[in-house]
Amino acid sequence: MKYGYFDDLAREYVITRPDTPLPWINYLGSDGFFSLVSNTGGGYSFYKDAKLRRITRFRYNNVPADEGGRLFYICDKDTVWSPAYRPVRTPLDQYRCRHGLGYTVFEGKKNGVSASLTVTVPMHCDMEVQKLVIRNDSKEEKTLSVYGGAEWCLWNAVDDSTNFQRNWNIGEVEVEGGTVYHKTEYRERRNHYAFYSVNAPADGFDTNRDAFLGQFRGWNEPLAVEKRTSFGSIAAGWAPVAVLRVDLTLLPGESRTLLFRLGYAENPEEKKFTALNVINKEKAHAMLAAFETEAQFDAALKELRAYWEGLLSRFTVKSSEEKLDRMVNIWNQYQCMVTFNMSRSASYYESGTGRGMGFRDSCQDLLGFVHLIPERARERILDIASIQFADGSTYHQYQPLTKRGNADVGSGFNDDPLWLIACTCAYIRETGDFSILDEPTPFNNEAGTEVPLLEHLRRSAGYTISHRGPHGLPLIGRADWNDCLNLNCFSREPGESFQTCSNFESGKAESVFIAGMFVKYGQEYADLCERIGLKEEAAAVRLAVSDMEKAVLAHGWDGEWFRRAYDAFERPIGSRQNEEGQIFIEPQGFCVMAGIGGPDYGRKALRSAEERLGNEFGIELLAPCYTEYHDYLGEISSYPPGYKENGSVFCHNNPWITLAWCKVRDGNAAFDLYRRNAPAYIEDKSEIHRTEPYCYSQTIAGRAARTYGEAKNSWLTGTAAWSFAAVSQGILGVRPDYDGLTVDPCLPDFMDGCRISRLFRGTRYEITVRRGDDKGLTADGKKLDGCTIPLTDAPVCSVLVTI
């Protein structure tokens, strides 16, 4: 069943009913100010850091779900309604929510009045602007009261939801005309404030939540709205809000546009005040002046559209598969941008208060982002590398605001260092910018420790080489990619973090997955060394890679598939010797991508994965699922069977299998897996899948689960970047390379061909793929050997590939 449809021309997903199985959300903002917005107007905003600079409040486990957010009320005689359906929940005569790229439009109609609410965060602007157009479609004059509002969060989102004895005393606001300023803690150590404003004389306001709502009432029925008034309340502690009221009279056919603006500004210490405790509002005034008129708003939306048009034109495909095209051309790339911006911090499932930016996550996110804005990828790589330690290990996470490593999670995730090689090589192949390798980059952010970025890569590789176990395989540490395979943590303490507890440092538990990674990224590092003239180093790394390959073949191959690991007692995991957890997906993906054992082992491993782990939504993480908790395995066995790491389809690693199928040149198997969980392909199963049909989720419950097919944790997942890599570089076969663009499609038999447009190093490659006997590649009419088109200065290069 569907709850809406794709409008590909407008690049929108149009939701046609408010009761989607879960809130279906969108992201606004691209730089400093970010907002989340659900299909009923819920969500929250923050500046750069969802933990430390939360602007509006959100209750993740509220009942009913998704309350608060954008608080719009329209009073028309006795009827009160909201253009986005919520918060009032009055049934509408018409409801539509159009999620577009960086903006969302709600179109509501009730009793002859239509309201269109467009919300966006304009580019280069720390403000969410909400344009509300109200039109009287009826035959009579309408006298309406319109309210717009927001509930402030007291900045630190963790403190805001825990430290009530203090918080109920500190809330402060100022009101100036149609603007409410939120200035909690501004009197002391904060130099930032927020504001909510309407571009019309306000007929009333409230800033004290309890006054506005009245006792025993929720956002759906505020007392002030019921009485069609405002109390002019000024918050003193408790919960500050900003609610502005504008009364309108509209003749038949007449419409009125209001701009509500939610902004954030910072002042230098010496310019904080204009009088005792009075905010210097210069910045807010300037920001508001920039969005005072509808024309200014429309121009900003146009700029945003043009921006996305430009970004997305860097890679487009036209094929016989409409769903493939819409994933590649629009939604997958859009999600790559969102994961780049957010890492795993803020969604409806990630509270924004815990994880900050992940080292491995952000490195992988770059794989799907680097072609969009390479300059930002460059900056990110250097930020990430700066939290690495001198021995090559690294902090696992960092806070985006401070860019400092997160001490409570610490280090010891032994896959982390290698991801830095993966993203740096991807960046250089995309841009040809070898200069990034010379960039002075500190360890642990300590001034004075800077070494060229290349040295960080060297230490990453070195860390794996020097941390190996009894079988010559890499030590797993606290965990590798699979955060829940905790082989050195024997936890019996409820609530103890599986990732940070390592109370049994065996010095023995090993990961076949990291071995696969090392073979793949070690080779990439060796290639890079060779290119920059480090021949001896390249040779040494290749030797280490080949040793690792041997170790995998000797100890990591189970006969029909690759094993997963060795535990603290040197027992295999992911082997037919085990009762449960006999086969895991991760090493099948990575060892085959790395080419270990060649295509024969590859096909065998992939067939085993399909047979034992395949379901209609993809490949499950492991089988059989663990039915009980084992302290020597850790968190993986804490989840009920079929959920999360214990045997769901953990979407992130499915594209590894797709890429692995491409590696062994099986286009049918690759595509068959791709389409099983590509959101657009399962749109009509929305009542089962439940999360948004336009973005990937982290997991889809496996066959062993009670809710097989149900997805969870949408948006912030490495699935976005890897799926884009799988479809663009594997199936469509367009791979940036140091010396040129490789075009080597691996299409399913039913596809006759496709057209691809790819901007690469300043040249637009217009690629036609077709089937025929005359196999091979011509570029601008010239037949080439192999499938890499050498770099050219030409603005356009036309490529014909016959497969």
Confirm whether 483 is a catalytic residue: yes
Q: Does 361 bind ligand GLC (CB under 6 A)?
A: yes
Tell me which amino acid residue 744 is: D
Q: Does 645 bind ligand GLC (CB under 6 A)?
A: yes
Q: Does 483 bind ligand GLC (CB under 6 A)?
A: yes
The kind and range of the H/E element at 155 are: strand 142-155
Tokens at 646, concatenated: 């214990």
Residue whose CB is less far from ligand GLC, 209 or 652: 652
The torsion angles phi and psi of 404, rounded to 5 degrees, stand at -95, 145
Assess contact for 301 and 103: CB atoms under 8 A: yes
Task: Pick the stretch among 110-118, 167-175, 644-652, 659-667 that binds ligand GLC (CB under 6 A).
Answer: 644-652
Which one among 130, 208, 482, 488 touches ligand GLC, defined by CB under 6 A? 482
Which one among 358, 602, 614, 641 touches ligand GLC, defined by CB under 6 A? 358
Assess contact for 54 and 153: CB atoms under 8 A: yes
Assess contact for 510 and 469: CB atoms under 8 A: yes
Residue whose CB is less far from ligand GLC, 160 or 635: 635
Q: Does 635 bind ligand GLC (CB under 6 A)?
A: yes
Contacts of 212 (CB under 8 A, 6+ apart): 149, 206, 222, 223, 224, 230, 231, 233, 241, 243
Assess contact for 197 and 283: CB atoms under 8 A: no
Q: How far is the CB of 325 from ligand GLC (least distance, A)?
A: 27
Q: How far apart are CA 221 and CA 58, in angstroms?
A: 18
Residue whose CB is less far from ligand GLC, 459 or 644: 644
* Site string (497-516) toward ligand GLC, x via CB under 6 A: --x-----------------
Assess contact for 755 and 788: CB atoms under 8 A: no
Q: Does 350 bind ligand GLC (CB under 6 A)?
A: no
Q: How far is the CB of 575 from ligand GLC (least distance, A)?
A: 20
Q: Does 261 bind ligand GLC (CB under 6 A)?
A: no
Task: Pick the stretch among 88-96, 205-213, 480-488, 590-598 that binds ligand GLC (CB under 6 A).
Answer: 480-488
* Site string (703-722) toward ligand GLC, x via CB under 6 A: --------------x-----
Residue whose entry in the numeric block shows the structure tokens 């003193």: 236
Which one among 520, 644, 676, 735 touches ligand GLC, defined by CB under 6 A? 644
Three-point CA angle 340, 481, 717, nearest 5°: 30
Q: Which of 160, 483, 558, 567 is catalytic?
A: 483
Residue whose CB is less far from ligand GLC, 652 or 675: 652
Q: How far apart are CA 174 and CA 172, in angstroms?
A: 7
CA distances from 738 to 354, 532, 771 (A): 38, 11, 28
Residue whose entry in the numeric block shows the structure tokens 């023995």: 508
Q: Which residues pair with 404 in a beta bridge?
A: none
Residue whose entry in the numeric block shows the structure tokens 């028309």: 76
Q: How far is the CB of 514 from ligand GLC (least distance, A)?
A: 12
Q: How far apart are CA 581 and CA 647, in angstroms?
A: 9
Is it true that the peptide bond before 91 is cis, omega within 30 degrees of 0? no
Q: How far is the CB of 594 from ligand GLC (least distance, A)?
A: 18
CA distances from 170 to 174, 188, 234, 273, 472 (A): 13, 11, 13, 18, 58
Q: How far is the CB of 76 from ligand GLC (least distance, A)?
A: 46
Q: How far is the CB of 654 from ligand GLC (least distance, A)?
A: 12
Residue whose CB is less far from ligand GLC, 151 or 365: 365
The kind and range of the H/E element at 159 are: helix 157-160
Q: How far is the CB of 633 from ligand GLC (least distance, A)?
A: 13
Q: Does 647 bind ligand GLC (CB under 6 A)?
A: no
* Site string (667-706) toward ligand GLC, x via CB under 6 A: -------------------------------x--------
Supply the residues annotated as catalytic. Answer: 483
Residues that bind ligand GLC (CB under 6 A): 344, 355, 358, 360-361, 481-484, 499, 635, 644-645, 652, 698, 717
